[in-house]
Amino acid sequence: MPLLIKNGRIVTADSDFTADIFCEGETITRIGRGLDAPPGAEVIDASGKLVFPGFIDPHVHIYLPFMGTFSKDTYETGSKAALVGGTTTLIEMCCPSRNDQALAGFELWMSQAAGKSACDFTFHMGVTKFDGSTESQLREIVARGNSSFKIFLAYKGAFGIDDTELYRTLKLARELGVIVTAHCENETLVAERSRELLAAGITGPGAHHESRPPRVEAEGVHHLCTFAELTGAHVYAVHTSCAEALDVAVAARQRGVKVWVETLIQYLVLDKTYAERPDFEGAKYVMSPPLRDARNQAVMWNGLASGLVNTVATDHAPFDFKTQKPMGRDDFTKIPNGIPSLEERVNLLYMHGVRTGRLSLQTFVDVASTQAAKLFGLFPRKGTIAVGSDADLVVFDPDYRGTISAITQTMAVDYSAFEGWKIEGRPSIVTVRGEVAARDGKFTGTIGRGQFLKREPTHHG
């Protein structure tokens, strides 16, 4: 059904104006004042509301076999939660184990999403080994329209690759024009420090930070940037949490390394004291890199405002507090890592970024949507509001007032890291290619309508 959104304040990364938007056949076909609705069109009055391009989460885990268990969301629950929260495109980390072949891994992850997702999706292809047969498989995956890779410099023995594999992956990425996203922590330092802490009887969630302090992450970013410099590959440091790691990326950028930086909503609004909460409550807040000292939050907010930090993601990795986090009750290294945030990213970024004056509305759109679209080969199909773009739109009500709770959330996990937090503003209408997929906090879309987004490599320069 055609859709007319009237009188909204349209905000993109580079414009801010009031107009109507007409959508037909999955795309935006007209933008202007006083547009008429043809018979049968749904008309949405957006007076007093903001209209944003659909938000993109460039780093999520939906299907994730990890640390001896599986993350809780499926594409059905995860895409519903994304849409309720204003996110219309997911970029998931495809993470085969070192025992699996890349192509089989890609097909497995695709089978989890295709026909099950209500929102559009694509993958960063995890390169978790690089042996004799990997190169041809990665070429095939890129040829199938998946033009970004993911590597882990941490998680020794699971997803982590060695330096020879890193070098070969980056060389191939450079040749193909594919960007490489990277989890940056020095895995030897993590392993040794964890061993020492456990040997000293320090076993609780609060010790997780001490096993991987800021310099461990900065060393990982430095390592990535050194390899990127010598191969010419374009790289993207995922979940950057602290000033030390950002400084290293900025210094590399200054000497010509093509490196982009992602931070997470968790690092912007939570700090390491949450993971130090007593009675194992801190396990809810264990993720890697860990939540940091609060001084880092201003650095990351300023980095977003000034363009040093490019994107805000979630690294959504939901594990139940009652049944999964306790796998590490006596050993923090066994607590499944992750803080579920897919549903709350946009609202928290608006509340703590825009409403506090830390981010302009346009920067908010840029870091939560447009930059990801540009970096990962989705722009201008996604990430903006323009004639010809997909009709992925968020009509946002700045006057909404509410409270976050696990009881009302859509994500399939038994806790909220933000339980009881106040929200000021939320999406009232969310569309995916012209279909209304969420209204006022409720999913109204169609499971299985989400499409795999084919992407050409764009990192040739």
- Applying CB under 6 A, which residues contact ligand URP? 61, 183, 239, 287-288, 315, 317, 337-338
Output 134 or 341, the one with its CB closest to Zn ion.
Answer: 341
- For residue 408, the number of C-alpha atoms closer than 13 Å in the C-beta half-sphere is 14
Q: Does 57 bind Zn ion (CB under 5 A)?
A: no
Least separation in angstroms between CB 45 and ligand URP: 41
Token representation of residue 433? 């290619």
Q: Does 315 bind Zn ion (CB under 5 A)?
A: yes
Least separation in angstroms between CB 159 and ligand URP: 8
338 binds, among ligand URP, Zn ion, none (CB under 5 to 8 A by kind): ligand URP
Q: Where are the beta strands (DSSP E) in 265-364?
A: 311-313
Least separation in angstroms between CB 159 and Zn ion: 8
The C-alpha atoms of residue 172 and residue 32 are separated, in whole angstroms, by: 45
Cβ within 8 Å of residue 373, ≥6 positions away: 56, 89, 379, 380, 381, 382, 383, 384
Least separation in angstroms between CB 461 and Zn ion: 26
Cβ-contact 328, 335 below 8 angstroms: yes
Least separation in angstroms between CB 162 and Zn ion: 17
Output 339 or 430, the one with its CB closest to Zn ion.
Answer: 339
Number of residues this chain uses to bind Zn ion (CB under 5 A): 2
Output 112 or 428, the one with its CB closest to ligand URP.
Answer: 112
Least separation in angstroms between CB 315 and Zn ion: 4
Report the chain's C-alpha Rg in angstroms.
21
Contacting range for Zn ion; rule: CB under 5 A; set: 82-90, 159-167, 174-182, 309-317: 309-317
The C-alpha atoms of residue 40 and residue 51 are separated, in whole angstroms, by: 22
Among the listed residues 219, 442, 263, the one whose alpha carbon sits nearest the alpha carbon of residue 358: 263
Output 58 or 303, the one with its CB closest to Zn ion.
Answer: 58
The C-alpha atoms of residue 55 and residue 87 are separated, in whole angstroms, by: 4
The C-alpha atoms of residue 318 and residue 23 are separated, in whole angstroms, by: 34
Least separation in angstroms between CB 236 and ligand URP: 13
H or E segment at 182? Answer: strand 179-183
CA triple 238-243-248, angle to 5 deg: 70
Output 338 or 425, the one with its CB closest to ligand URP.
Answer: 338
Q: Does 183 bind Zn ion (CB under 5 A)?
A: yes
Contacting range for Zn ion; rule: CB under 5 A; set: 107-115, 279-287, 314-322, 444-452: 314-322
Token representation of residue 332? 């923090």
The C-alpha atoms of residue 112 and residue 109 are separated, in whole angstroms, by: 5
337 binds, among Zn ion, ligand URP, none (CB under 5 to 8 A by kind): ligand URP
Q: Which residue is nearest to Zn ion (CB)?
A: 183
Cβ-contact 156, 216 below 8 angstroms: no
Output 215 or 439, the one with its CB closest to Zn ion.
Answer: 215
Output 219 or 315, the one with its CB closest to Zn ion.
Answer: 315
Q: Which residues are near Zn ion by CB under 5 A?
A: 183, 315
